[in-house]
Structure 1
Amino acid sequence: MFFDALSSNEEDDNFKPTLPEMHEWTLNEKLKKEKLVLGFYWSGHPLNQYKALLLSWKI
């Protein structure tokens, strides 16, 4: 009885879930979520977008 529930049939094999269309996160959104979930930035750093400006100020 239990193992009957695990048997596959053709209908189950052809099942493909549909996902809603989502917008791409901005860099700031992505960084905030990474920091919240992981505790650190993975894909960059918030100050990277100001790197050229900071270098021009020789900071």
Structure 2
Amino acid sequence: MTREEKMMLAIDSALTAKREKLTHWEITFLNGLRSAYTKSKSLSVKQKTVATPILKRLGLLSL
């Protein structure tokens, strides 16, 4: 499993199990990442850079 695949699993978990701990902006941003990844199967460095602290705060990512 690649790092991006792990990140996508973490994003899915954040949007389902930990949604109440996310701000409106974070929910919108993570939904956008999920859509972008579904279309292109990749994320930009900037997208990963912004998503990483959100997912770490929720305890879903340890990259």
Between Structure 1 and Structure 2, the one with more helix by share is 2
TM-score by length of 1: 0.34
TM-score by length of 2: 0.32
The structure with the largest alpha-carbon Rg is 1
Instruction: Specify which structure has the bigger relative contact order, considering alpha-carbon pairs within 8 angstroms and separated by 6 or more residues.
Output: 2
